[in-house]
């Protein structure tokens, strides 16, 4: 089954932090003091009892901060109601996890990837791919029905992690005059001839590797895709490693289309 999107959150904190807010200098003094200590303040929310809540994170941990009505003190922890219901969890999900998942998706968009499929396809999937990865090859083959009918667009974030020549092969594909065509030829069996690439292309592979490691990933292919919640929010799911049949259908958004 796909990895929980929450697994992305703590990993993301290792490589990037959101600005405390666009108006950090307007934070109440106790909250600003925590921000000055390195806490990331992601948003604020209404809380019972005259308190103001702030969603925060530090060292990979999601935390709620409650500001007292006088604005002079902050309480850190979980708020419960008289029925024993956790009032903090939903706020952390909305004001911390959702914000970090949006940042994760932006990082994927800004990475260095190769287009595979119709750019106007209704479903978009980012997948970390190593040119020496046999499971990446298998994944590419299994996704053809969805990609070739225009239902799914894959964006292959090229990494070099499996073999000594993996970075060089990734650079050759990213630096090709037509990366999509070069990638398709490679997937159909054409060997990659390693050659020197411009420094900026090599830097793209390095940046992709850093993103892969910073997200706490360990296997290729690893794929990330968005799902819509009942209230209309977009959240991220991911599958690390080669998906099984059930995972593949879920990732693709439905059964394989008939290509006959």
What is the average per-residue pLDDT within 199-226? 94
Name the percent of the chain in helix, strand, coil, to the closest 5: 35, 25, 40
Determine the Cα–Cα distance for residues 45 and 43; give it in Å rounded to an integer. Answer: 7
| Residue ranges of the chain that CATH labels 3.40.30.10 | 111-252
Instruction: Tell me the pLDDT tens digit for each residue of 53-86.
Output: 999 988 768 899 999 999 999 999 999 999 999 9
Q: At residue 206, does pLDDT exceed 60?
A: yes
Q: What is the tens place of the pLDDT at every residue in 32-60?
A: 999 999 998 988 888 998 999 999 988 76
Q: What pLDDT digit, counting tens, does each position of 91-139 carry?
A: 888 888 888 888 899 999 999 999 999 999 999 999 999 999 999 999 9
Portion of the chain with pLDDT greater than 90, in percent: 67
Whole-number Å distance between alpha carbons of 23 and 172: 43
Whether 5 and 101 have beta carbons less than 8 Å apart is answered as yes
Residues 99, 18: Cα–Cα separation, whole Å: 9
Strands 52-58 and 61-67, by their bridges, are antiparallel
Confidence of residue 194 (pLDDT cuts 50, 70, 90): very high
Strand partners, 245: none
Q: What per-residue confidence (pLDDT) applies to 18?
A: 35
- Domain 6-103: which CATH class? alpha beta
Whole-number Å distance between alpha carbons of 93 and 62: 9
**What pLDDT was estimated at residue 11?**
41
- Work out the pLDDT band at 7, boundaries 50, 70, 90: very low
Nearest Cα neighbor of 136 from 220, 256, 252 is: 220
- Name the packing angle between helices 179-187 and 134-142 (round to 10°): 100
As a whole number of angstroms, the distance between CA 109 and CA 111 comes to: 6
Largest interatomic CA distance in the chain: 69
- Within 10 angstroms of residue 120's Cβ, the number of other Cβ atoms is 7
Q: How far apart are CA 257 and CA 146, in angstroms?
A: 6
Residues of the chain with CATH 3.10.450.70: 6-103
**Is 170 a residue whose pLDDT tops 50?**
yes
111-252 is classed in which CATH architecture? 3-Layer(aba) Sandwich (3.40)
d(CA 253, CA 185): 27
The DSSP symbol for 125 reads E
């Amino acid at each position: 089954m796909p990895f929980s999107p929450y697994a992305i959150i703590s990993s993301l904190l290792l490589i990037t932090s959101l600005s405390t807010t666009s108006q950090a200098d307007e934070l109440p003094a106790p909250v600003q003091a925590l921000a000055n200590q390195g806490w990331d303040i992601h948003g604020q929310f209404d809380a019972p009892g005259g308190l103001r809540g702030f969603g925060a994170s530090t060292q990979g941990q999601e935390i709620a901060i409650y500001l007292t009505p006088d604005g002079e003190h902050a309480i850190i922890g979980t708020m419960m109601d008289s029925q024993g219901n956790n009032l903090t969890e939903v706020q952390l999900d909305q004001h911390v996890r959702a914000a970090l998942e949006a940042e994760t998706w932006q990082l994927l968009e800004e990475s260095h990837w190769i287009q595979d499929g119709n750019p106007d396809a209704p479903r978009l999937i980012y997948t970390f791919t190593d040119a020496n990865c046999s499971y990446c090859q298998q994944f590419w083959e299994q996704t053809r029905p969805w990609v070739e009918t225009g239902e799914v667009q894959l964006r292959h974030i090229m990494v070099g992690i499996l073999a000594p020549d993996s970075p060089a092969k990734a650079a050759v594909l990213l630096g090709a005059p037509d990366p999509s065509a070069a990638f398709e030829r490679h997937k159909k069996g054409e060997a990659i001839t390693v050659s020197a690439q411009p420094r900026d292309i090599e830097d793209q592979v390095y940046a992709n590797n850093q993103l892969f490691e910073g997200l706490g990933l360990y296997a290729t292919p690893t794929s990330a895709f968005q799902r819509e919640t009942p209230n209309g929010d977009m959240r991220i799911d991911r599958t690390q490693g080669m998906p099984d049949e059930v995972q593949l259908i879920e990732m693709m958004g439905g059964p394989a289309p008939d290509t006959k």
